[in-house]
Amino acid sequence: MALELAKTAENSIADFFARNDALSRLDRLHRHTLEAVETVLKAPRPQDFTHNVLDLAVQKVVEKLSWKLMTEAHATPSSVGVPALLDLCIAGVTSHFLVNSTPYKVLEDLMEGQTISTCEKVWELLESRKDQLTTPDFIAEKGRTTKASLCLLRMCNALLRRLSKTHNSVFCGKILVFLSFTFALSERSAVNLTGKANVTNVTVFEDEDAFDLAESTDATKASEAVSGLQIDNDPSADVGPIDYNLYRTF
């Protein structure tokens, strides 16, 4: 029965998510599913069960949109209806028809199976709805964790692992800026709560004798004139030796 409800919800959402009255239709679908859960399935927590059914239905719709993006020529997120589905999910969360992580799951599922160029276009949809997706309905204040915040972190970390730091530096920067805007400095994912130190990061210093020998060698090389090369000496430049204590400190 639960699978039948999810399949019915999937077909309904796929049919009306791009319409102007999509939110009212989602309201009716939510009430119909909740009634079936209470009367037929008699689940102990009918509201949560209904949210899970609708969440599964939305994921199935996203799979179809993702497949269209991959297979149709010249397809874009806008042409297959991603903005309309995302807006419906945001409105559904604020109206308590859907679980608060649903919009982020839509974005996460889309980005997992798309190219980097398509992911950038999907990310633009997220940035354009930043004010809506970072309200207390999605991201709790004072560093508390929600399903939406965990989904956002998981999606961003997965994206950063895929991106090249040299070729996709702008996209990486956009992701990091969005995270810094969304989460407080006291958020648990940014705090070393257990106080664990990175013991594998060991800096090996030269001893003082080896340091002095290297300094004298560098000074000798710098003083040797190269044939045919003129060097402008700056009399005000600091050409004195580097202090060993300064080397150890910085």
pLDDT per position as a tens digit, 119-139 = 999 999 999 999 999 888 888
Distance CA 69, CA 76 (A): 6
Please indicate, yes or no, if residue 6 is contained in any of the structural domains: yes
What does the pLDDT average to over 5-11?
Answer: 88
Q: Does residue 1 have a pLDDT over 80? A: no
Please indicate, yes or no, if residue 217 is contained in any of the structural domains: no
Distance CA 250, CA 118 (A): 44
- Do 109 and 66 contact (CB within 8 A), yes or no? yes
Please indicate, yes or no, if residue 229 is contained in any of the structural domains: no
Domain boundaries, position 183: 2-190
Please indicate, yes or no, if residue 60 is contained in any of the structural domains: yes
Please indicate, yes or no, if residue 36 is contained in any of the structural domains: yes
Global pTM reads 0.71
CA dihedral 209→215→221→225, nearest 10 degrees, is: -130
Q: Does residue 5 have a pLDDT over 60? A: yes
Q: What is the pLDDT of residues 72-113, one digit of tens each?
A: 888 999 999 999 999 999 999 999 999 999 999 999 999 988
Q: Is 42 helix (H, G, I), strand (E, B) or coil?
A: coil
Q: Does residue 30 have a pLDDT over 80? A: yes
Number of folded domains that form the chain:
1
Q: Record the tokens describing residue 163, joined without a space.
A: 């991106």
At residue 189, the pLDDT reads 64
Please indicate, yes or no, if residue 168 is contained in any of the structural domains: yes
Please indicate, yes or no, if residue 85 is contained in any of the structural domains: yes
**Cβ neighbours of residue 175 closer than 8 Å, sequence gap 6 or more:** 123, 156, 159, 160, 163
At residue 186, the pLDDT reads 66
Residue 86 one-letter amino acid: L
| Helix segments in 163-207, DSSP class H | 169-182
Q: Does residue 187 have a pLDDT over 70? A: no
Please indicate, yes or no, if residue 211 is contained in any of the structural domains: no
At residue 159, the pLDDT reads 93
Q: Mean pLDDT in the chain?
A: 82
What does the pLDDT average to over 221-246?
Answer: 56
Q: Record the tokens describing residue 55, joined without a space.
A: 């969440």
